[in-house]
Amino acid sequence: MTRKSVLVTGATGYIASRLIPALIGEGLAVRVTSRHPERVGRRHPATSTVTSDLLDPDSLRPALAGVDVAYYLVHSMGGSDFEASDRDAARNFAAAAADAGVARIVYLGGLGRDDDRLSSHLRSRREVGRILAEGTVEVVELRAAIVIGSGSIAFEMVRYLTERLPVMIAPRWLETRIQPIGEDDLVRYLVGAATLEPGGNRIVGIGGKDVLTYRQMILGYARLRGLRRAIVGVPVLTPSLSSHWVKLVTPMPFSVAKPLIDGLRNEVVVTDDAAARLFPGIEPCGYSTAVTAALKGQIRYLDAASAPGEAAVPGSLEGMLIDRQWVPSAADATRMGEVIHAIGGDDRWYPLRLAWWVRARLDDVFGGTGLKWCREPGPLTKGARVDWWTVEATEPDRLLLKAELKVPGEAWLEWRVVPLEPGCELRQTAYYRPKGLIGHLYWLLMWPFHVPIFRLMAIRLAQRAELESGEPLGRARLRFWNAGRSAAEALE
Ligand SMILES: NC(=O)c1ccc[n+]([C@@H]2O[C@H](COP(=O)([O-])OP(=O)(O)OC[C@H]3O[C@@H](n4cnc5c(N)ncnc54)[C@H](OP(=O)(O)O)[C@@H]3O)[C@@H](O)[C@H]2O)c1
C-alpha cells in the first residue's frame, strides 16, 4: 500500500512545527512548505521542503503535486492588510489544490459564534474557511480557541502578562468565556482529520475539557507557577490601549497583540458534539494539565531551538531569556567536543573567578548550597554533578547543563560544536526561565556580570581546544568581539 502523502504549509509556524513530527510518527510521507526554508533547517530532517508563498500561485504547483491531504496552517496576522492577504492566499491555495487533485484540505480556523460581532482576526479566519470550502476539494475545518503550548502566540501572551505583572489592570475582556485546548490534543485532532472517511466539507469545533474566562486562565497559570497575582477591574480599557500595554510589557509587537486582544471580546467555546462524534478516541485534557505540559514542552524545546541549523535567536525565546555566544575556532570539532566534556572540577574553564566567588557567597546568603567545585573523574553522564550544574544531555558534540544555583527561575548552559572547514564553531547558549517579575529583574541585574563571563567562557573553551590541537592560539581570541554572531558573519 502506498503511503499517504501530506503537505504541511507554514512549516516555520508554531502549529505546523508540532504537527510535522506527529505526522511522520504516523508513517505518512510529509512535505512541508515555507517562504523561509532555511529556517525549517534541520528541525524536520525526515521531510522534503518546498519554497512556497501562498500569495504566489506558481510556487504552489510543485508544493501540491502528488499530495493527498494538504494542511492549511498559515495566517498573515502582523502584516499591514492581513485580511486581504489571507483572502488572496486562500483563493490561490484552493485553486492550486483543485488543479493538483488533492483529496482533502485540513484547515485550522478559530472558534466563535457567527451571530457575534467577530474581531477582524476571527472574521478573517472565517473568510479563509469559506473560500477554501467554495473550491472543489473537500475541506475539514477544525475550529479552536487559544492553543496552550510553548510557542503558541496566544499562550505566550498569557505567560508574559502573568510572569511580568504582579498586579494587572483588568479590562472587560478578561471576563469573556474561552475554551482553550492543549497542544497535544490539538495535534491529535489535526492528525485524525487526515484519515477521516470522505464525507464532504465539515466544520468541527474542538476544545479542552474546561471553559474559563481569561482572568481564570491568568490566575490558573499563576497558581501552577507558584506566583501570587492580583487583578484590579476597571470599567473602560479599549483593546487598542490594552495592546499598547501588552507591547510595553511583553516582546509581542503591537500588530500581533492588537488582533489577538480584539478577539478576546468574542466568546470562543465549542457549541456542538461534532468533535466527539468524529473523533471518539480523543478525550481532551483540562487547562491545568495543558499548562503543565506546556511548561515541560518549553524545556524539551531547548533541543530544537538550539539545533545546529538554527539561526541565532536574540533576546528571548518562548518566555526564556537567552545569551548566545558563537565562537569560531581553529581546533577540529572532535577536539572541541572533548574539551567541552572535560569541563569543571577546577577553575581553569571559568573566567573571572572573583565574580564566581561573590556569586557563591550570595548563594549562601539566600539559602542555597553555595557554589561547590566538584567533578567526578571520567566522562560525563546524564544526571552527573559538575560543580554547581547537573548534566541534562550529553552527546559527543553537545553538552547541556542545568544550574543548581539559588535563582528566581531556572537556568541552563549549553554547548554545541558545529564542524567548519577548517576548524569548527563553538555555540554556547545560556537559557534562563525567569520566575515572575523578580526573575526578570535578576536577569537585568546580573547582565553586566553575565556578559563578560559568558563571552570569556566561550572564548577560553575555544582557545583550550586550539591549544590541545596544536593550533596557534589566536583565532578564538581575535574573535572576542565577534562572539554572539554566526560563523559566516564572524569570518567575513
Ligand atoms: N496558535 C493558536 O493559539 C491558534 C489557535 C487557533 C487557530 N490557530 C490557527 O492555526 C494556524 C497556524 O497558526 P500558528 O499559531 O502556527 O501561526 P504562526 O506560528 O504565526 O505561523 C504562521 C505561519 O504562516 C506562514 N505564512 C504567513 N504568510 C504566508 C504566505 N504568504 N505564504 C506561506 N506561508 C505564510 C509563516 O511562515 P513563513 O513566514 O516562514 O513563510 C508562519 O510559519 C492559523 O490558521 C491560526 O489561525 C492558531
Among candidate residues 249, 264, 298, the one where a domain is terminated: 298
d(CA 199, CA 138): 8
Average pLDDT on 451-471 reads 85
pLDDT at 313: 40
Helices (H) and strands (E) in the chain, counts: 17, 20
Q: How far is the CA of 72 from the centre of ligand 1 (A)?
A: 9
Query: Which grid cell is 375?
Result: 567533578
Q: Do residues 203 and 270 share a domain? A: yes
What CATH number does the domain containing 23 carry?
3.40.50.720
Q: Do residues 127 and 196 share a domain? A: yes
pLDDT at 475: 55
pLDDT greater than 70 at residue 482: no
pLDDT-derived band at 481, boundaries 50, 70, 90? very low
Average pLDDT on 162-183 reads 88
Q: Which of 40-49, 72-81, 126-135 has the lowest mean pLDDT?
A: 40-49
pLDDT at 172: 73
Q: How far is the CA of 197 from the centre of ligand 1 (A)?
A: 26
Q: Do residues 200 and 294 share a domain? A: yes
pLDDT greater than 90 at residue 274: yes
Q: Do residues 252 and 393 share a domain? A: no
Does ligand 1 come within 6 angstroms of the Cβ of 54? yes
Q: Do residues 281 and 345 share a domain? A: no
Q: How far is the CA of 86 from the centre of ligand 1 (A)?
A: 11
Q: Which of 64-73, 123-132, 300-309 has the lowest mean pLDDT?
A: 300-309
pLDDT tens per residue, range 314-368: 344 567 788 888 888 888 999 999 999 988 876 556 667 777 777 777 777 777 6
Residue 434 lies in a domain: yes
Residue 275 lies in a domain: yes
Q: How far is the CA of 401 from the centre of ligand 1 (A)?
A: 33
Q: How far is the CA of 13 from the centre of ligand 1 (A)?
A: 5
Mean pLDDT, all residues of the chain: 85
Q: Do residues 116 and 167 share a domain? A: yes
Percentage of the chain exceeding pLDDT 70:
87
Q: How far is the CA of 310 from the centre of ligand 1 (A)?
A: 19
Cβ neighbours around 195 below 10 Å, total: 11
pLDDT at 145: 96
464 or 207, which is more confident?
A: 207
Q: How far is CA 439 from CA 168, 298, 299, 362, in A?
A: 18, 17, 17, 15
Of 14, 146, 156, best ligand 1 pocket probe by most atoms within 8 Å of the beta carbon: 14
Of 74, 128, 139, 143, best ligand 1 pocket probe by most atoms within 8 Å of the beta carbon: 74
Among candidate residues 275, 298, 321, the one where a domain is terminated: 298
Average pLDDT on 444-473 reads 83
Q: How far is the CA of 74 from the centre of ligand 1 (A)?
A: 4
What CATH number does the domain containing 388 carry?
3.30.530.20
Does ligand 1 come within 6 angstroms of the Cβ of 310? no
pLDDT greater than 60 at residue 309: no
Does ligand 1 come within 6 angstroms of the Cβ of 13? yes
Does ligand 1 come within 6 angstroms of the Cβ of 34? yes
d(CA 246, CA 254): 8
pLDDT at 60: 96
Does ligand 1 come within 6 angstroms of the Cβ of 89? yes
Q: How far is the CA of 312 from the centre of ligand 1 (A)?
A: 21
Q: Which amino acid is at 206?
A: I
Q: How far is the CA of 174 from the centre of ligand 1 (A)?
A: 25
Residue 412 lies in a domain: yes
Does ligand 1 come within 6 angstroms of the Cβ of 125? yes
DSSP secondary structure code for residue 11 in this structure: T
Q: Could you list the residue range(s) of the whole structural domain that residue 484 is in?
A: 312-491
Nearest-CA residue for atom 21 of ligand 1: 13
Q: Do residues 187 and 330 share a domain? A: no
Q: Do residues 294 and 318 share a domain? A: no
Nearest-CA residue for atom 43 of ligand 1: 13
Among candidate residues 245, 272, 298, the one where a domain is terminated: 298
Residue 26 lies in a domain: yes
Q: Do residues 92 and 235 share a domain? A: yes
Q: Do residues 293 and 332 share a domain? A: no
Bridge partner list, 403: 389
pLDDT-derived band at 299, boundaries 50, 70, 90? low
Residue 464 lies in a domain: yes
Most confident of 75-89, 126-140, 151-165, 388-402: 126-140
DSSP per-residue codes, 201-265: -EEEE---S--EEHHHHHHHHHHHHT---EEEE-S---HHHHHHHHHHHSS--HHHHHHHHHHTT
366 or 104, which is more confident?
A: 104
Residue 307 lies in a domain: no
Does ligand 1 come within 6 angstroms of the Cβ of 331? no
Q: Do residues 287 and 406 share a domain? A: no
Does ligand 1 come within 6 angstroms of the Cβ of 157? no
Residue 179 lies in a domain: yes
Q: Do residues 13 and 127 share a domain? A: yes
| Sign of torsion over alpha carbons 284, 289, 295, 297 | negative
Does ligand 1 come within 6 angstroms of the Cβ of 90? no
Residue 145 lies in a domain: yes
pLDDT-derived band at 492, boundaries 50, 70, 90? very low
| Beta-sheet strand order (sheet of 316-317) | 316-317, 320-329, 424-434, 409-419, 398-403, 389-395, 385-386
Tally the domains of the chain.
2
For residues 469 and 463, the answer to whether their CB atoms sit within 8 Å is no
d(CA 344, CA 348): 8
Q: Which atom of ligand 1 is nearest to the CA of 53?
A: 32
Nearest-CA residue for atom 18 of ligand 1: 13
